[in-house]
């Protein structure tokens, strides 16, 4: 049986990601949780360009090239997967990269480990800012762009997480892959669960699921927020989806009621881990050999496990967990993991 619809015309894109990524069963985790769990392996989109951000960058950097840009500018936390992917993707296409990264003490920035090491290996320049200054991140990126222009360059600003309407096309494409994947499985109530930290992945999946007709097969999308709250992400996702519909004349309108945000699992805060979250990462790795990161995928999977403990029917009979990558962010947490190993 088929339920696939014609794909809409896509904006121009580069080929940076290794797609389509496999959809794999987690048999022992499924038995432990009492629901069928599959994982969409978007951690396998590449080695250095691993994770969900590269899908967005295919579209964003295509536009940067069309505009004649020679320098890309973006922002993130100190161990930002998006910043690392942007720095490496920029190097791959021959562009320079400037990063505006948040840290506790900009005067004493963290050591160049994990994602930061990859940032500087790729030649990115880093402007360290404080947590209070993060509220002005867009203005600070505009300052960086002005400096590039003043030096004779051509800047292109990529928003936090690559999360705008153009970047969301990366996860419209992923939703179409999932439609192909799930067409080979028996029909049953299914929820696609993903981590959300800036909203672009969620917007793409929600819009893509509708465009692919997944909702007609009993498939819905739920995001586990790893920062902020439900109201914030409902607003972000619906806003990005509205821009998608308007800019590309898509035959879908997404409203707030179409956005499922599973709130209550931010824990100690963004990029801060509790022992129980790290234990979930450990248990999944030991059960099925799947490695999650503590900032995004691990926190979201812990939210999934917690919700299922409260209500085994929360996500239907099948869960498709989108593994958005982030393995490099695991390494700075070695000391926190030590008591659990």
187 φψ region: left (φ > 0), alpha (ψ -120 to 50), beta (else): beta
DSSP H helix total and E strand total for the chain: 11, 10
Let me know if 80 is a catalytic residue.
yes
Distance CA 130, CA 143 (A): 16
Distance CA 42, CA 40 (A): 6
Q: C-alpha angle with apex 95: 55 to 154, nearest 5 degrees?
A: 110
- How buried is residue 192: exposed, middle or buried, by Cβ count under 10 Å (0-12/13-18/19+)? buried
Q: Which member of 80, 198, 273, 297 is catalytic?
A: 80
Distance CA 96, CA 91 (A): 7
Q: At what angle do helices 200-211 and 165-182 cross, to 10 degrees?
A: 50
Distance CA 37, CA 26 (A): 6
Distance CA 114, CA 136 (A): 26
Provide the H-helix boundaries in the chain: 27-33, 53-66, 81-92, 114-121, 137-150, 165-182, 200-211, 230-248, 275-288, 297-310, 334-337
Contact 10, 168 (CB under 8 A): no
Hey, what's the torsion of the CAs at 82, 55, 192, 225, to 10 degrees? 20
Q: Residues with catalytic annotation?
A: 80
């Amino acid at each position: 049986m088929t339920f696939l619809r014609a794909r809409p015309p896509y904006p121009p894109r580069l080929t940076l990601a290794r797609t389509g990524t496999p959809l794999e069963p987690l048999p022992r985790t499924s038995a432990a949780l009492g629901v069928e769990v599959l994982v969409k392996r978007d951690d396998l989109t590449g080695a250095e360009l691993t994770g969900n951000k590269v899908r967005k960058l295919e579209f964003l950097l295509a536009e940067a090239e069309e505009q004649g840009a020679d320098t890309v500018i973006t922002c993130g936390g100190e161990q930002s997967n998006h910043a690392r992917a942007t720095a490496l993707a920029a190097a791959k296409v021959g562009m320079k990269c400037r990063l505006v990264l948040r840290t506790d003490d900009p005067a004493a920035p963290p050591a160049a480990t994990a994602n930061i090491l990859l940032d500087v290996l790729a030649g990115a320049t880093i402007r360290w800012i404080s947590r209070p200054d993060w509220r002005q991140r867009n203005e600070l990126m505009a300052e960086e762009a002005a400096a590039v222009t003043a030096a004779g360059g051509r800047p292109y600003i990529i928003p936090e997480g690559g999360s705008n309407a153009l970047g969301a096309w990366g996860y419209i494409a992923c939703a179409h892959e999932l439609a192909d994947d799930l067409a080979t499985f028996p029909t049953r109530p299914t929820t696609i669960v993903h981590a959300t930290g800036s909203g672009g992945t969620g917007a793409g999946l929600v819009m893509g699921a509708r465009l692919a007709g997944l909702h007609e097969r009993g498939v819905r999308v739920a995001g586990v927020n790893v920062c902020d709250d439900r109201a914030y992400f409902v607003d972000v996702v619906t806003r990005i989806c509205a821009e998608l519909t308007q800019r590309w004349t898509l035959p879908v309108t997404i409203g707030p009621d179409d956005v499922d945000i599973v709130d209550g699992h931010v824990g100690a805060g963004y990029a801060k881990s509790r022992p129980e979250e790290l234990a979930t990462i450990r248990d999944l790795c030991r059960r099925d050999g799947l490695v999650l990161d503590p900032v995004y995928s691990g926190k979201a999977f812990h939210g999934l496990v917690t919700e299922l403990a409260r209500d085994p029917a929360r996500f239907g009979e099948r869960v498709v967990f989108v593994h958005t990558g982030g393995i490099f962010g695991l390494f700075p947490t070695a000391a926190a993991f030590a008591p659990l190993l």
